[in-house]
């Protein structure tokens, strides 16, 4: 038995740890004895909650423990550890300290209006408040990177029906997560597969094919596909390598966050040529109009038109004019090129989500910070010093709610509910 006397234990209370043989019979005999002594099993998150209440951790660190327990990838583990180390807490604590000082100056000015306070004090209060509001705003404008890293980075697989989107996601997931079939319009809802790409959590979403349809269910699938494509951080636009005109469907999402993927290169007569320069030099191979489905605008895809608008400049993604660039050639059937696609995707993800400065990781933090900025900005515009002081106090309270420095009783149940038992 190990004995950790208060306050130098993890929870800050007296803690006894029994190390016993793990058999069911031994455990239940011990539990029986402990129950007779009036002890009970801990609730989920109860140890962390007690540690928080006894001042061993702030709320951000308590949340980091939950994140650490739930971390599935290396980047998630690292982010949780940084938060547990108190990096984020130190940033918010620093802001609180600065604001407390500013508020103290302001209150002094209110309380002693007749005293000769330096005239520049008002300017200093405004300057400090403005500076802090700006810093919090910059911290908020982080593209939700921390939250994305916690929840998984959304990658939508989009493209015309039958391009091989489901086949690709299956190949990546190495299991039959999505039913593939040669009948267009099989994927009517969104199917998600979580994968670990170079340590980053990525959620791949297979969507319904982008095409016009009279089928109500398919139309709904299309609506969701478009919405998901819009919301995703990165899009893989998959098209049939034999039908390069299909790539025009990607024009709705210009920019480097749309990766073009030419699938079914195994069906091209000369895959070698295609691999070199798949878009402009695409070998028609055995393509025919039958392989190329109707486009979204209802016009028939004319098949390969080497001089047509689908002629694309080299260089991944899209060029500066927004025109689709070179596509990555793959075959979801044979697996050719899939590793290359995954490393391109992993590269893109790690570039965007490699985190240097501490970032906020939860919507809860974001909400409090946004409220704090709102109060600060209102305070800056206030005409009476008393009103300004009230706004600064509100901002201080919002900052305090993130780390749990001010009363957060109402938050605790929500925060600790997600913990697992024994933490």
Chain residues binding ligand GDP by CB under 6 A are 161-167, 180-182, 186-187, 209, 263-264, 266-267, 331-333
Taking the complex as a whole, the smallest distance from the CB of residue 182 to ligand GDP amounts, in Å, to 4
Q: How far is the CB of 196 from ligand GDP (least distance, A)?
A: 23
CB of 334 to ligand GDP, least distance (A): 7
Nearest distance, CB of residue 296 and ligand GDP, angstroms: 14
Write down the least CB distance from residue 170 to ligand GDP, Å.
7
CB of residue 336 to ligand GDP, shortest distance in Å: 8
Nearer to ligand GDP, 60 or 232 (CB): 232
CB of 91 to ligand GDP, least distance (A): 44
Nearer to ligand GDP, 166 or 301 (CB): 166
User: Which is nearer to ligand GDP, 17 or 289 (by Cβ)?
Assistant: 289
Residue closer to ligand GDP by CB (options 93, 171) is 171
Cα separation, 391 vs 18, in Å, equals: 51
Q: Yes or no: say if 80 and 67 are a contact pair by the CB < 8 Å rule.
A: yes
Which residue, 145 or 242, is less far from ligand GDP as judged by CB? 242
Closer residue to ligand GDP, CB minimum distance, 229 or 373: 229
Residue 285 beta carbon to ligand GDP: minimum distance, rounded to whole angstroms? 11
Task: Give me the least distance between CB of 208 and ligand GDP, in Å please.
Answer: 8
Give the residues across from 318 on adjacent strands.
324
In the complex with ligand GDP, the residue whose CB is nearer, 238 or 376, is 238
Answer for the pair 211, 184: CB distance below 8 angstroms, yes or no: yes
Residue nearer to ligand GDP on the CB measure, 88 or 332: 332
* Conformation bin of residue 164: beta by default, left when phi > 0, alpha when psi is -120 to 50: left
Report the residue number, 115 or 176, with the smaller CB distance to ligand GDP. Answer: 176
Residue sitting closest to ligand GDP (CB): 164
Strand order in the sheet with 153-158: 191-197, 200-206, 153-158, 234-240, 258-263, 328-329
Cα–Cα distance measured from residue 117 to residue 131, given in angstroms and rounded to the nearest whole number: 22
Report the residue number, 139 or 242, with the smaller CB distance to ligand GDP: 242
How many angstroms separate the CA atoms of 166 and 172, rounded?
Answer: 10
* Residue 243 C-beta: closest distance to ligand GDP, Å: 12
Q: Which residues of 58-75 are buried (b: 16+ CB within 10 A; e: fewer)?
A: bbbbbbbbbbbeebebeb
């Amino acid at each position: 038995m190990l004995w950790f006397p208060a306050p130098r234990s993890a929870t800050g209370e007296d803690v006894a740890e029994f190390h016993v043989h793990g058999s069911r019979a031994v455990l239940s005999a011990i539990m029986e004895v402990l129950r007779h002594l009036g002890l009970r099993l801990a609730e989920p998150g109860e140890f962390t909650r007690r540690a928080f209440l006894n001042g061993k951790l702030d709320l951000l660190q308590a949340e980091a423990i939950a994140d650490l327990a739930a971390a599935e990838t290396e980047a998630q583990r690292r982010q949780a550890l940084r938060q547990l180390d108190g990096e984020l807490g130190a940033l918010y604590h620093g802001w609180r300290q600065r604001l407390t000082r500013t508020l103290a100056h302001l209150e002094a000015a209110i309380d002693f209006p007749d005293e000769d306070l330096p005239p520049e004090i008002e300017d200093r209060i405004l300057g400090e408040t403005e500076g802090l509001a700006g810093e919090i705003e910059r911290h908020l404008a982080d593209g939700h990177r921390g939250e994305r890293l916690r929840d998984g980075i959304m990658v939508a697989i989009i493209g015309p029906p039958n391009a091989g989107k489901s086949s690709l996601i299956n190949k990546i997931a190495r299991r039959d997560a999505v039913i593939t079939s040669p009948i267009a319009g099989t994927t009517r809802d969104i199917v998600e597969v979580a994968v670990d790409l170079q340590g980053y959590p990525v959620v791949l979403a297979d969507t319904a094919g982008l095409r016009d349809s009279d089928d109500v269910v398919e139309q709904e699938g299309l609506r969701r596909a478009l919405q998901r494509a819009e919301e995703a951080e990165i899009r893989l636009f998959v098209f049939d390598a034999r039908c390069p005109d299909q790539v025009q469907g990607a024009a709705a999402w210009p920019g480097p966050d749309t990766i073009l993927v030419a699938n079914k290169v195994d069906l091209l007569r000369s895959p070698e040529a295609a691999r070199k320069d798949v878009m402009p030099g695409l070998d028609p191979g055995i393509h025919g109009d039958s392989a190329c489905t109707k486009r979204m605008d209802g016009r028939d895809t004319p098949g390969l038109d080497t001089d047509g608008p689908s002629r694309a400049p080299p260089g991944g993604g899209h060029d500066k004019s927004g025109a689709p660039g070179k596509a990555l050639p793959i075959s979801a059937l044979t697996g050719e090129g899939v590793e290359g696609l995954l490393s391109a995707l992993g590269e893109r993800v790690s570039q965007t989500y490699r985190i240097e400065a501490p970032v906020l990781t939860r919507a809860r933090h974001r909400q409090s910070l946004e409220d704090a900025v709102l109060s600060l900005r209102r305070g800056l515009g206030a005409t009476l010093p008393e009103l300004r002081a009230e706004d600064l106090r509100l901002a201080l309270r919002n900052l305090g709610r993130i780390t749990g420095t001010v009363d957060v009783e109402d938050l605790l149940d929500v925060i600790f509910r997600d913990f697992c038992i024994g933490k």
